[in-house]
Structure 1
Amino acid sequence: MFTKIRWRLLLSYLTVFTSILVIFAAGVRLLFARSLTHQLTDRLTALGQGAATNAEFENGRLKVESDFIVQQLIHKNQGLQWFDTNGNSVLQQGNIVLNLPFSPSINPMQFKTEKLSILAVILPIIGSDNGKIIGYVRVSQSLEELDETLTKLDWVLGSSIIIALILSGFSGVILTRQAMQPIEESFQRLKQFTADASHELRSPLMAIKSNAAVALKYPEQMRKSDTEKFQAIVSAANQMTRLTEDLLLLARAEKNCEVRESSVNLSAILSDLLSLYQPEACAKKIDFKSEIDGDMYLLGNAGQLTRLFANLMENALHYTLSGGTVEVTANSVSSYLIVRVRDTGAGIAPEHIKLVFERFWRADKSRSYWAGGSGLGLAIAQTIAQNHGGSITLTSQVGVGSCFTVRLPSVKVSDRSEY
């Protein structure tokens, strides 16, 4: 039980930590990408301003006297394009030349081609004579270098997150173990106290039952009211005995998780229980049906498995009204044995289904423990199923009925030794 809690705590811790790291890494990458893009835009703007000074308006046309070294533009994956006020191309240099319609309203602009991403900045060319716009210059540069830098950053951030999670996982295991240790020790002391108290209560309860039974053998020597009181004492003692026995069984079952002692014929156990509870079903006029495959074996403790399915059948018969149906089915599916105990009883509300396996739980309307019951039957059943490497689940609907499904690992017939 605590192992699952530790893993859940560790998983929750790692999930939260991972979310924080991912958000932090995404923020760092976004800020870094924006910073690089702004720096590149500033460089392109400076280059465009230099290119704009080499253009003049003569004889009604834009004339460009470019002194830029083309090889430098090619080496830096840059390109320059000059346009007149009508958007007509006048001159272009470099290897990054855009074949797109001229649109000075979008500035800067970033887009992708089939091969690479490009960032472009458009600047107006101001005439020195009248201060009016005489044309435009568009500066472009490939973002390949920027993308490579961001890719390297992604690898660094991703590797850092993985390393941080690995280190956090190791430290988390240690921390969760240390945090759960006091709780586990307290729980173990509580279980030991429950087992010891249950064991010590058996003797005084037996003495109470014995003395009350002796007194009831001679009713003529006591008043009628005294006889009723002794009967009440015997009834209470029986109920307390059942409670202590169930608590002791539950404590022992939880303490001794390794219960796989020998090969057990589950079909025989279920058949014996069906024969045992058939008279009770007939007395309540309940249709007690069964469909059990023959010779289904598993490794386990026959006594505990008998108690598991006895609790489920008692539960189904108690909550099924006269004229109802209780059905027990058992079959082998793959490497598991599936046993279902279905009834047409009161059913359980959806919000209560997850509570039925808790100790002493009782619902106000849909379920209540029968007279003499300890309220531990389903908790014991779940513990036994889990100790055998299996599970028990419940599906239910109020007014329709419930179905308990037990799933236990099977063993090959050739590997068995009958109990």
Structure 2
Amino acid sequence: MIQKFRWRFIIISILSLALVLFVSIGSLVYTNFSQAKNESNRVLSVLVNNNGQLTPERTRGAFDRQKTLITQDFLLGRFNPESVYQYRYISVLVDPNQKITVLNNQKIFNVSQTQIKQISQKVANGKKKRGVITIEDNLYEYQIKNTPAGEKILAFLNTSLIYEKSWMLLRLATLLGCAALIFFAIILIIVSKYAIKPIANVYNKQKQFITNAGHELKTPLAIISANTEMQEMMGNESEWTKSTKEQTQRLTELINNLIALARMNETETLTLGKVDFSEILEKTTQSFASVIKNKQLQYQVNIQKEIQVMAEEKSLTELTNILLDNAQKYCDPNGKISVKLSTSNWNKMATLTVANSYAEGKDVDYRNFFERFYREDESHNNNKKTGGFGIGLSMAKELVNVFKGKISVNYKDGQIMFVVSLHLAK
């Protein structure tokens, strides 16, 4: 239990940090990419508004016109006119006859004029005013502006260089984020031992107290039971002695269950091996046959032979006893109890289904059935002969978890069904 709590704490903490890192890094990278996109849009706007030229002297007016927008755009940064020489671009002027009259390719390398003319003609004849194309393994964003004279100004900006900073930031942030997460996980694994130590101490003391108190209570209960039986042997049997014996037996059962529950975590150290599930279940069903017959209940058993599962024999026997005992306790009068054990080839599991008639189970919330001390009858009427303590099903779930299996409960056709799935032995 303590180790499960510890690892759950570690996993939740790591996932929380991972979420924080993801949001932080994602926001940073998104902002950086947005800044790069905004930067390319501004440069293209300056190019088409200044006849394809990009110099501090020629662009000062254009930057001044954008000053209000840039100043307000705090998160995406401000554009510095002094940095215009860092950009690589192509500018083309196309006359009304779709003939290229001016071509400026002095700011690029390894792109021929023929290639530029072909691309320019294709872009000029297209319907888009903005877009992205690839030239010599570089991404170029382009923008087109129509002049009053019917000419077209085409500006192509190499954005690979602009976005490379953003991609580098993404790679670096991802690497540092993963490293920070791993470092945090290592530190957390080490520190968590000391962080949960007070909880572990309290939990262990609580278990020890329950065990010690249980053993101490057994002695007076045994004496009370023996004295009551002696009174009956002396001819003093009455409804009072019978009630005393019933309540003594009930209290003894409760103490035994509490001790078993306190020791339940010791089952985590069990060595799982190959166990004949079919044989164990047959013995259990036979042991309950007389009890079920005396209650005049229908009893249907269907057990597939020679099913081997990974479990521990005594614990698996205890699991089947809990489920059968629960079924016979809460089955409706003149109802039916059915037990079925089969295998499934597709998931390599053995499935045990224990069902009993339960007419009032339609509107019951079954989500808490495996919680400790939970009982569906909220009044906890201890006068009911079949009344339990809400411990058995919790123990069943703990045992199934130790076997690395699954247990569930559902209601169908007037029956409550407990389904246990365990891994088949190889």
Q: Same fold (TM over 0.5)?
A: yes
The 8 Å contact of residues 263 and 297 in structure 1, kept in 2 or not, is answered as: yes
TM-score normalized by structure 1?
Answer: 0.76
Residue 307 (structure 1) aligned to one of 318, 322, 343: 318
Aligned 1:254-269 pairs, distance under 5 A: 254-260=265-271, 264-269=275-280
Aligned 1:176-191 pairs, distance under 5 A: 176-191=192-207
Percent of paired sites with the same residue: 20
1:326 aligns with 2:337: yes
CA distance in 2, matches of 1:253, 1:151: 54
- Provide closer, same or farther for how the CA distance between residues 197 and 346 of structure 1 changes in structure 2, counting only shifts above 3 A: farther
Residue 215 (structure 1) aligned to one of 224, 231, 240: 231
- Provide closer, same or farther for how the CA distance between residues 38 and 86 of structure 1 changes in structure 2, counting only shifts above 3 A: farther
Residue 380 (structure 1) aligned to one of 386, 390, 395: 395
1:161 aligns with 2:161: no
Measure how far apart 1:399 and its partner are.
6.5
The 8 Å contact of residues 48 and 138 in structure 1, kept in 2 or not, is answered as: yes
Match in the other structure for 1:9:
9
CA distance in 1, matches of 2:41, 2:361: 67
Match in the other structure for 1:232:
243
- Provide closer, same or farther for how the CA distance between residues 48 and 164 of structure 1 changes in structure 2, counting only shifts above 3 A: same
After superposition, what is the alpha-carbon deviation per residue over 1:179-199, rounded to whole angstroms, capped at 9, x for unaligned?
Answer: 322222211111111111111
Letter in 2 for 1:378: L
Match in the other structure for 2:57:
none
Residue 139 (structure 1) aligned to one of 127, 135, 155: 155
Match in the other structure for 1:100:
123
Measure how far apart 1:280 and its partner are.
2.5
Aligned residue pairs total 378
1:361 aligns with 2:363: no
Measure how far apart 1:239 and its partner are.
0.7
Letter in 2 for 1:100: V
The 8 Å contact of residues 354 and 418 in structure 2, kept in 1 or not, is answered as: yes
Measure how far apart 1:256 and its partner are.
4.2
1:395 aligns with 2:413: no
Match in the other structure for 2:79:
none
Match in the other structure for 2:302:
291
Match in the other structure for 1:111:
132
- Provide closer, same or farther for how the CA distance between residues 119 and 9 of structure 1 changes in structure 2, counting only shifts above 3 A: same
Residue 193 (structure 1) aligned to one of 204, 209, 218: 209
- Provide closer, same or farther for how the CA distance between residues 269 and 137 of structure 1 changes in structure 2, counting only shifts above 3 A: closer
CA distance in 1, matches of 2:374, 2:256: 18
**Structure 1: gaps (5+ residues):** 55-74, 126-131, 413-419
TM-score normalized by structure 2?
Answer: 0.75
CA distance in 2, matches of 1:200, 1:365: 30
Match in the other structure for 2:167:
151
Measure how far apart 1:202 and its partner are.
0.7
Match in the other structure for 2:288:
277
Measure how far apart 1:360 and its partner are.
1.7
- Provide closer, same or farther for how the CA distance between residues 351 and 81 of structure 1 changes in structure 2, counting only shifts above 3 A: farther
Bigger Rg over Cα: 1
The 8 Å contact of residues 348 and 398 in structure 1, kept in 2 or not, is answered as: no
CA distance in 2, matches of 1:409, 1:333: 10
Measure how far apart 1:237 and its partner are.
1.0
CA distance in 1, matches of 2:422, 2:271: 12
Match in the other structure for 1:344:
357
Aligned 1:69-108 pairs, distance under 5 A: 77-83=88-94, 90-94=101-105, 95=111, 96=116, 98=120, 99-101=122-124
The 8 Å contact of residues 394 and 402 in structure 1, kept in 2 or not, is answered as: no
